Chains A and B, each alone.
Chain A
Amino acid sequence: MSEAFRLPDGGRVDRAQPLSFTFDGRRYGGLAGDTIASALLANGVHLVGRSFKYHRPRGIVSAGAEEPNALVGVGRDEAHYTPNLVATQISLYDGLSAVSQNRSPSLERDAGSINDRLWRFFPAGFYYKTFMWPRRAWTRVFEPRIRAMAGLGRAPKAPDAARYAQRYAHCDVLVIGAGPAGLASALAAAEAGARVIICDEQSELGGSLLAETEARIDGLAAQDWLAATLARLGAFDRVTVLPRTIAFGYFPHNMVGLAQDLTGYQGEPDDAAPRGRLWQVRAKQVVIAAGAIERPLVFPDNDRPGIMLADSARIYVERYAVKPGRRAVIFTAHDEAYRAALALHRAGVEIAAIADLRGAPEGAWIDAARAAGLPVRPATTISGTDGQLRVSAAHLAPIADGKVGRAERIECDLVLMSGGFTPSVHLFSQSRGKLRFDPALEAFVPGAPAEASLMAGASAGAQTLEATLATGYDAGDQAAGVSGTAQVRHFAVEAAPLSRGGFLGAVPHGRDPASVRAFVDFQNDVTAKDIKLALAEGFRSIEHVKRYTTTGMATDQGKTSNMNALGIVSETLGRPIPEIGTTTFRMPYTPVPFGYFAGYARGELFEPVRETPIHGWAAERGAVFEDVGQWKRARYFPEPGEDMRAAVARECRAVREAVGIFDASTLGKIEIVGPDAAEFLNRLYVNAWTKLKPGRLRYGVLLREDGFIVDDGVVGRIAEDRFHVTTTTGGAPRVLATMEDYLQTEWPDLNVWLTSTTEQWAVIAVQGPKARDVLAPLVEGADISAASMPHMSVAECRVAGVPARLFRVSFTGELGFEVNVPAEYGRAVWETIFAAGQPHGVVPYGTETMHVLRAEKGYIIVGQETDGTATPEDVGLGWAIGKAKPDFVGKRALARAGMAAQDDRKQLVGVLTEEPGFVLEEGAHLVADPAQKPPMTMLGHVTSSYWSAKLNRSIALAMVRSGRDRLGETLHVPLADRTVRVTLTEPVFYDPEGSRLDG
């Protein structure tokens, strides 16, 4: 299709670089320098989407980030699809594929447009009032259907194939916006020696200058001045220029989030190259030069395709060389629309009428329009428009003595509207800066800043190019910290005369207000009537009106709608706007794809994976791994044909009858060293440490100050002043942080050093009656016989020629050792022990077997038997407490009411099912009377439950209220399909005398 609406010359598009793209499957031509929106308009396409609620046909309204309607999905396939992109912001590239949203089956014939005919049934907050009955239908019928009908784009169906980069940057001055104010700021800051980053959402820097064909700055045509200024900025090494980069969020302490689009005119980047980059910029000073946004006028049926903002239409003519239509009606309350009318007139667009709301508009702009022969109609409103998929006529009605007269129908294919300009204060407001209402401008302008920030140009209320450049340069100068030098610079500007005017609220139309729809918020389908309804129903706070009507919400954050909504509220309530205030502007300023935030943190890089030194051996052996925190742990080592139960049964049998080898390297380890190390442990752990001799181990229990168990582990005294502390696999960082906390903040008097050694030691557990036989030939420098190395002792020696700390310790109930060697030797030592164990029938076992073996012995796992409300007594560890110690962390809390054994606390017990083959579910509840009605009185819950091959039956541990007093009682476990009878027992199922610890 030819670009029938492209002007033969002018604009900043490159006619030497034709591009091809598709919209809803149809192929169109465009030029380098186009956006999707300008290219569609060049082809005469205004209809680009269906509205959020009523599915009304919608067209392109603006030429920038404020666009509420023209949201499209872009991407050649699902893996490259991004929904809700703003067509006025996306640079066209060759081969681009865009689709419209929220329509079915097609944009022209949309089944959802039935909503438009039923609009009376969908007023503001309709979902609070209707669809209320029957109650269940809301979640099953109404809500899903409403959600399917309402909405914007759809999520892509495939993972995003594109890559996204992220970087941090620091600068002296961050300039947001590269229009005349931003460029002047950057120039001033750079000239003052500051490191500057300047960003702009557009593909080209220049802002309003890109569509400026009349003004001259310092004797140069505006666009020549722009080129010269960009060249000058580019010559500074300390200036970073970022086009296509939107500042979407202002975070505390001058951190600003920038989203940089890296797609180019040549097409989407290769998947190997990033498609976007998230910048987190920390700036000493931020200059916000975000410009101003033109307001629509709120008149009946102001949302048909072909109805646009006046200045945006001018931008399409001047910057993109596109005629937005053939015959235009201009509706305005501001002089700037006359400038647009003149530009369109020059471009060959017939101006059918300029309807000016103002009674007697005067000034240079009006004179110029009249001189050009444009029909100016003062005191005129638009009372309605015609057209289905494109506006076809406007109804112009005179206003006299506050009354709207008879309307005249004027045919047109374009209506331009201008209600004046709203300074873009979004980022300033995000930074918590206070806004101030300027009555002359009829707008909120920046007041006192909360961050080190300065506002410049139109976003600070400047109205002329001269003022824009001057405030910009001044802000840049101040931001660079040289304000004292009084480096005043004057820009000589020859520009069009100052334009004035403006209107807030809904315009008079003389029709029955109940029968018309004048849209305030195009994106959310909010009409003037909706806002009045909210007020009539008693909502007063603007924040409540916003939430009830949804005006100003969603992706455009009310850029075009907020001030008109405020105007309606103000008029209806008869209260001035400053009294009503404004709603909070939320980030992001424009939508940012999730990929920018995910960045590199995807797939394997999402979270670190920790592997032990022996991981490779286990993997080669075919181990099945489980995730324990960030660790990968071997769960079991299946032989061919074995399932987990068979493998675990075999592994358990090997440990009980011969010997097993287990990788315990993930255990947390902390080296505690110093003259006060024993005293430190005394104060921290429940146990008594003073009398523990070097060479001995002790099982330590750590509480919080509230008396509840937080961690446990075996502690070895290596020397008088040196302890080797182990913690649970997941608990090491928490325990070390707790230790540092007490050491630094409560007991700085203690001379102790703490070092994490988790990753420095590989730990190889050798467990079973043959454990000593396997290890003894490999040990040098220590006698590991039963006589000289009893249970719970530690020796520094060599194992397989490697320096080792050899623990004699058991978490299985069998004779056991844990060989600690430097991590680098872990696998070699493991392989040596495994080889030495072959004649003894050594079997590698995993965490599942470890769990079964320890449960058979009633050994708890912190976090499984305990849940943060268990005391040592509760889980049968009262023996560990050093009773003579005056104090330790948690001791005082244990003396509080409700913490003693007789206080009906949950206590650790064993659970045996009546039916030995039945393995309970962990988490199952225990009750006394299974016949009671739910919710039943629950006495406790199963914490661990396994099949014990050794005992040839199921075993379980549970925490049960006053469980120690209930041993022998029969309780019931109600399950989904049946109730199971169980008996409470001692929690030690195997070898209660502990005779096997010595082999």
Chain B
Amino acid sequence: MLLITCPFCGQRPEIEFAYGGEAHIARAADPRATSDEAWTEYLYVRGNARGLHAERWRHIRGCGRFFNALRDTVTDHFVATYKMGEARPDRTEGKQP
């Protein structure tokens, strides 16, 4: 079971969290101005990174807050977790302490 560091509550076991899909996929401010292709991309197309993956998690059985995480899909180690709205940390590898 993974240990996940909620930016609000600290390190907690995986069962307290819900996975929320890839991070940094923003809903268009005006969807009407978006092309069909772009909207299809937004709806259905996701990366499948080997290595660092930015993804959303929610501390659903804790504080309830959404946050983002960088996880290495090869080692399953979390490299960083950060609050919604913050930029993706400039990290390429490593382990979260």
Q: List residues of A whose CB falls within 8 A of some B CB.
A: 251-253, 255, 280, 282, 432, 450, 705-706, 737, 740-741, 744-746, 748, 886-887, 891-893, 895-897
Contact = CB atoms under 8 A, between A and B. Distances in A.
A252 B95 CA distance: 13
Contacts of B76: 252
Given A748-B84, A892-B39, A893-B43, A255 B66 contact: no
30 contacts: A252-B1, A252-B2, A252-B77, A253-B1, A253-B2, A253-B3, A253-B77, A255-B1, A255-B3, A282-B13, A432-B75, A705-B27, A705-B42, A737-B60, A740-B58, A740-B64, A741-B20, A741-B58, A741-B66, A744-B65, A745-B56, A746-B26, A746-B27, A748-B84, A748-B85, A891-B31, A892-B31, A892-B32, A895-B32, A896-B36
A472 B60 CA distance: 42
Nearest to B78: A253
Contacts of A432: 75
Interface in B22-80: 26-28, 30-32, 34, 36, 39-40, 42-43, 56, 58, 60, 64-66, 75-77
Contacts of A886: 30, 32
A806 to B, nearest CB: 31
A745 B31 contact: no
A104 to B, nearest CB: 42
A282 B65 CA distance: 24
Nearest to B39: A892
A745 B1 contact: no
- Which A-B residue pairs are the 4 nearest by beta carbons? A892-B31, A253-B3, A744-B66, A255-B1
Nearest to A742: B27
A450 B75 contact: yes
B74 to A, nearest CB: 10
A740 B60 CA distance: 10
A696 B27 CA distance: 31
B3 A744 contact: no
A706 B43 contact: yes
Nearest to A886: B32
B39 A896 contact: yes
Contacts of A744: 65-66, 84
Contacts of B58: 737, 740-741
Nearest to B23: A745
Interface in B4-21: 13, 18, 20
Nearest to B33: A892
Contacts of B65: 744
Contacts of A891: 31
Nearest to A892: B31
Residue of A282, A450, A745, A896 with most chain B CB atoms under a 10 A cut-off: A745
Contacts of B39: 892-893, 896
A740 B66 contact: yes
A746 B77 CA distance: 27
A706 B43 CA distance: 7
A252 B74 CA distance: 12
A897 B75 contact: no
A884 B27 CA distance: 20
Contacts of A748: 84-85
Contacts of A893: 39, 43
Given A737-B58, A744-B65, A748-B85, 12 more contacts: A252-B2, A252-B77, A282-B3, A705-B27, A705-B42, A705-B43, A737-B18, A741-B20, A886-B32, A887-B31, A892-B31, A892-B32
A280 B64 CA distance: 25
Contacts of B56: 745
B54 to A, nearest CB: 13
Contacts of B18: 737
B84 A745 contact: yes
Given A450-B75, A745-B56, A892-B39, A251 B1 contact: yes
A68 B65 CA distance: 50
A930 to B, nearest CB: 37
Given A252-B1, A450-B75, A745 B32 contact: no
Nearest to B40: A896
B20 A887 contact: no
A886 B31 CA distance: 9
Nearest to A254: B3
Nearest to B13: A282
A244 to B, nearest CB: 24
Nearest to A704: B43
Contact of A897 (B13, B36, B42, B60): B36
Nearest to A740: B64
A251 B28 CA distance: 40
Contacts of A251: 1
A432 B3 CA distance: 17
Residue of B43, B65, B76 with most chain A CB atoms under a 10 A cut-off: B43
A157 to B, nearest CB: 34
A895 B60 CA distance: 33
A745 B84 CA distance: 7
Residue of A253, A740, A886 with most chain B CB atoms under a 10 A cut-off: A253
A450 B72 CA distance: 13
Contacts of A705: 27, 42-43
Nearest to B56: A745
Contacts of A255: 1, 3
Contacts of A450: 75
Nearest to B21: A741
A744 B36 CA distance: 26
Nearest to B64: A740
A745 B42 CA distance: 15
Contacts of A280: 1
Nearest to A744: B66
A255 B13 CA distance: 10
A741 B60 CA distance: 11
Contacts of A740: 58, 64, 66
A279 to B, nearest CB: 13
A486 B26 CA distance: 53
A255 B85 CA distance: 32
A900 B66 CA distance: 35
A432 B1 CA distance: 14
B30 A887 contact: yes
Contacts of B13: 282
A280 B2 CA distance: 12
A263 B66 CA distance: 45
B1 to A, nearest CB: 5
Contacts of B66: 740-741, 744-745
A893 B28 CA distance: 13
Contacts of A741: 20, 58, 66
A38 to B, nearest CB: 37
A253 B76 CA distance: 9
A891 B76 CA distance: 37
Contacts of B30: 886-887
Contacts of B32: 886-887, 892, 895
A228 B81 CA distance: 47
Residue of A252, A432, A895 with most chain B CB atoms under a 10 A cut-off: A252
A138 to B, nearest CB: 37
Nearest to A743: B66
A892 B38 CA distance: 11
B36 to A, nearest CB: 6
Contacts of A706: 43
B79 to A, nearest CB: 13
A891 B27 CA distance: 13
Contacts of B3: 253, 255, 282
A887 B28 CA distance: 11
A891 B28 CA distance: 12
A450 to B, nearest CB: 7
A282 B2 CA distance: 10
B59 to A, nearest CB: 11
A706 B34 CA distance: 14
Contacts of A252: 1-2, 76-77
Contacts of A253: 1-3, 77
Contacts of A892: 28, 31-32, 34, 39
Contacts of B20: 741
